[in-house]
Amino acid sequence: MNIPSIEQRYAFEVFPKRDLTIVSGHGATLYDESGRAYIDCVAGVGVASVGHANPEVARAIGEQARTLVTCPGIFYNDVRARLLEKLVSITPPDVSRAFLCNSGTEANEAAIKLAMHATGRRGFVCAMRGFHGRTMGALSATHKHRDAFEPLLDGFSFVPFNNVEKLRAAVGDGTAAVIVEIVQGEGGVRLGDAAFFAAARELCDAHGALLIVDEVQTGFCRTGKFFASEHHGVRPDVLCLAKAMAGGVPMGAVLVGEKVPARIGMHGSTFGGNPLACAASLATIEVMERDGLAGQAQAKGARFAAAFGRRKSPKVREVRRLGLMIGIELKEKARPYIEALMARGVLALPAGPTVIRLLPPLVIEDEALDEVAARLHEVLGR
C-alpha cells in the first residue's frame, strides 16, 4: 500500500508534508513503514509528553472504551467528575471551574466568548508573534495566518511581547481581556518576562478586564513546572489547556475563576469531556505526577543545553529554552537543517522561518538527548 499516494489523493491537504510515513512509536522513538527508528523531538507538536504508546494511558483508554465512550454534558459522569476535580487541584490559584473541549483552539475560542460574556466588552489585547489557533475567534487573537481570512472579529489589537509600555497604552476600560502565552511556541520559543505578566495582571485588575493565559503548548510539565505560569507567579482569570492533557487523545480545557459567570446554553461541545478522553487525561496526569515529569523536563532541558552548548556553531544566533521547550534561532532558514536532521534520524519542528524547535516527549532518555545534540552539531557544522 502506497500510503503517501492515498493521502495525496484523498486528503484536503493543509500541512506541508515531509517525505516520511510514521506507523508506530514507543516512548520517544517513532518508526516508519520500513522499521527505521527516529528520535522524536516533535511529540505530535508537544502532545506526547508521557511518550508514545504509554502503557498506563493505553490501559486506561482500553478499559474505558469497554465501559463507556461517550456521555454528553447534559448528564453527570463519574470519570468526568474525577478529572474536573483533578484539574482544579493542580492548576494555578483563582481558577476553580473547567469547561472541557477537544483542542487548544477550542479552548481559546471559548475563552474569548467567556470574556465577552463576563465583561460585556469586545476589546482584546494580544501579543505580536502570538498563536492561539486557526478557528475564526482564536485566529482573531493570532498574529499570523490572518490575511486571507480578514475581516475577522473586531476589537483585537496587538502589542510587542514583553513591552510593558506598549501594553499599558493598549489596555483600557473597553478591554475585555489580555491574552498571553508564557512562552510563545509557534512564535519562535520566545520567553515572557515576569515584569510583562505582572503589568498585564495589574492592568486587568485596574480596568476590570480578564487575564487569559494560553498554556496550550506550555502546560502539563513541558517547561519544568506543571504549568509555565508558575515560573512567574501568574494568576490567570482564564486558563487555556490542551495538547499534552490526555496523552495524545484530543482534549482541551478552559478553566475560569469567579469573575466569569456561567449561563446555561452559552457554550457547548458534543464530544468535550467524553469519558474516553477524561480517562486518558486522568492516566496521563497520574504518570506526570508519579514520575515527576516537570522535574525531568527541567533536568533534561539543562542536560541538552549543556551538551549542545559545548560546541558553538556560527550559524546559531541564540538558543531559547524553558525546560524541554527549546528554540534554536539560526542566522538563516531553518527548513534545510530540519530536513537534514530527519535524514539523520531526528525529527524536529520549525517555529517561524529561522528557528528549529525541539519538543521531545518528557520521558526521552538522556542518551537520546545527547544524540540529538550530536546530530545538531553535525548538520549545523556542514
Mean per-residue pLDDT for 13-33?
Answer: 96
Mean per-residue pLDDT for 60-79?
Answer: 98
State the cell numbers at 43: 511529540
Mean per-residue pLDDT for 359-382?
Answer: 96
pLDDT of residue 310: 87
Mean per-residue pLDDT for 48-75?
Answer: 98
DSSP 133-171: -SSHHHHHT-SSS-GGG-S--TTEEEE-TT-HHHHHHH-
DSSP H helices, 171-274, are 194-207
Task: Report the alpha-carbon distance of residue 293 to residue 300 in Å, rounded.
Answer: 10
First to last CA, the chain: 36
Q: What is the pTM of this model?
A: 0.97
Amino acid at 97: R
pLDDT of residue 62: 98
Residue 198, burial from CB neighbour count under 10 angstroms (0-12, 13-18, 19+):
middle
- CATH of segment(s) 3-53+292-380: 3.90.1150.10
Domains 3-53+292-380 and 57-290 share a fold: no
Dihedral, CA atoms, 196, 158, 321, 32, nearest 10 degrees? 150
Alpha-carbon distance values, 95 to 92, 219, 238 (Å): 7, 15, 7
State the cell numbers at 80: 468526568
Per-residue pLDDT of 201-237, as tens digits, reads 999 999 999 999 999 999 999 999 999 999 999 999 9
- How do strand 349-350 and strand 156-159 relate by DSSP bridges? unpaired
Mean per-residue pLDDT for 85-95?
Answer: 96
Domain boundaries, the chain: 3-53+292-380, 57-290
pLDDT of residue 211: 98
Task: Report the alpha-carbon distance of residue 352 to residue 99 in Å, rounded.
Answer: 31
Q: Which residues does 317 contact at the CB level (< 8 Å), separation at least 6?
A: 329, 330, 331, 354
| Residue 240 bridge partners (DSSP) | 214, 254
pLDDT for 321 beyond 70: yes
Residue 63, burial from CB neighbour count under 10 angstroms (0-12, 13-18, 19+):
exposed
Q: Is 323 helix (H, G, I), strand (E, B) or coil?
A: coil
User: Going by CATH, does the domain composed of 57-290 fall within 3.40.50.300?
Assistant: no
Residue 313, burial from CB neighbour count under 10 angstroms (0-12, 13-18, 19+):
middle
Q: Give the DSSP H or E segment for 211.
A: strand 210-214
Inter-residue contact 124 to 204 (CB < 8 Å): no
pLDDT of residue 382: 64
| Residue 249 bridge partners (DSSP) | 247
User: How many C-alpha atoms does 23 have within 13 Å on its Cβ side?
Assistant: 11
Mean per-residue pLDDT for 74-95?
Answer: 97
Mean per-residue pLDDT for 292-309?
Answer: 97
